[in-house]
A and B are shown apart, each in its own frame.
Chain A
Amino acid sequence: MPLPIGDTVGILADNLRMRKSVLPIPARSTAAWARGLGLARGGETILYTGGMYQLVPYIQALNRFQEKIEDSWLAGMIKYGRMANRVINISALMARPPGSERESSDRILVNIARLLRRAGVDFGYLYEDDLYSGALAYDLGADDVVEAHTRRLAGVFKKYRVKRVITVDPHTTHMLRSVYPALTGQHDLQVKSYLEVLVERGAVPRKELRLEAALHDSCLYARCENVLQEQRTLLLRAGVDLKEPADSGRFTLCCGGPAESLFPKKARETAAKRVEQLKKVSGRVVTMCPICLVNLRKAAGGEIQLEDISGYLVRAYCEG
């Protein structure tokens, strides 16, 4: 029996409505990456993670559980799970990632903060108010819940008098820059990906990496947000010999990740097709989206080395 669509979407929508995220994790875990960095609370310019990188280890853990029950009789029990989840947070119990996965996601955010500081950007952080953007629920068509959630977000931005938002991933960038204004009527928030900010600031590397890597573009950056040149500019300046796979740039091939919450097997098959394209041009692959990173990693099974772009950039622009 496949995973039941209505109950699965229902659980994610219930979580967003009741617990402010599709996969609720404690606010202190979302903000844990910033511990010790001395980031100011709030401010006109903020680094907004939307909890995406922090959520990924939990999504991975949940998907491991889903893959086990997909096509088994246990999938039929999800409807009872939805009922129970309204009372107690069972999705958090099902998704308990190992500490190493959480540390790896947190490190990416620390890298991004270091890069922005090195480029002279003055920014604050919202800590426990760094709310999830609602991206997955939006994609799944849970529009009423997402609309209510964006009103929450608008309240947070108003509370801290935020004018400029620096985002770290394509899903949050797309939600805040392209979806959020239409849903809230708030059009005066300036939203930029940290990759755009680094290029605008004319970030200069401290050392050359002198290595070859393939670039996997994110669908949303490439086709919706026009973030196509920034990643190339930053990596080329850092001395990376960039290899473009078949289907790159605006015509990039999806990693399959968006299918993960309902169809884990299809997601893995789609990712495997992309891995084949990538490994033809390099054994090292750069990603810029947490969903792409985990989904491609899962399909690659160690055949190629996949790493978030922030790792390369921090080595070139902050170290040495």
Chain B
Amino acid sequence: MPRMDPLFAEEVNSFGRFDARACLNCGVCSAVCPMGIELLPRKLFRYVLLGVKDRVLENVQAVYSCLLCRLCEVNCPAQVRVAENVRFLRYYLNKKVFQI
């Protein structure tokens, strides 16, 4: 059972680079995503915002599968900067998981 980890949310916030607070949870991004990965990007961002670190770490492949094509961004009614958020998560995983 995944747990919320407030320290994870705090750690992510400390970089000042992840911002999906404006997300309305409408699901347009997932509907238009050419990769057809259900987690991308809405659910993934929700896990980050809620601090569900386990779920993020279980889904590393999805984080790197994003094409950064921004089709979701041009369709997003809340103008969330999806590609930059995904890029930040990669940066975070590179540092914390892969030690790059």
Contact = CB atoms under 8 A, between A and B. Distances in A.
Interface stretch (B21-29, B50-58, B70-78): B70-78
B34 A270 contact: yes
A122 B34 CA distance: 41
A88 B14 CA distance: 38
A2 B35 contact: no
A6 B69 contact: no
B7 interface: no
A141 B89 contact: yes
A13 B60 CA distance: 18
Given A2-B61, A270-B35, A256 B67 contact: yes
Nearest to B75: A251
B76 to A, nearest CB: 12
A139 interface: yes
Contacts of B94: 6, 9, 13, 140-142
Interface residues of B, number: 26
A139 B73 contact: no
B46 interface: no
Contacts of B99: 6
Chain B facing A: main interface SS:
helix
A250 B34 contact: no
Contacts of B71: 219, 223, 251-254
A48 interface: no
B87 A141 contact: yes
A273 interface: yes
Interface in A129-174: 138-143
26 contacts: A2-B61, A5-B60, A6-B98, A9-B94, A10-B98, A13-B100, A140-B64, A140-B90, A140-B94, A141-B92, A142-B91, A142-B94, A219-B67, A219-B68, A219-B70, A219-B71, A223-B73, A251-B71, A252-B71, A254-B69, A254-B71, A256-B34, A259-B35, A259-B67, A262-B64, A270-B67
Interface of A: 2, 5-7, 9-10, 13, 138-143, 219, 223-224, 250-254, 256-259, 262-263, 266, 270, 273
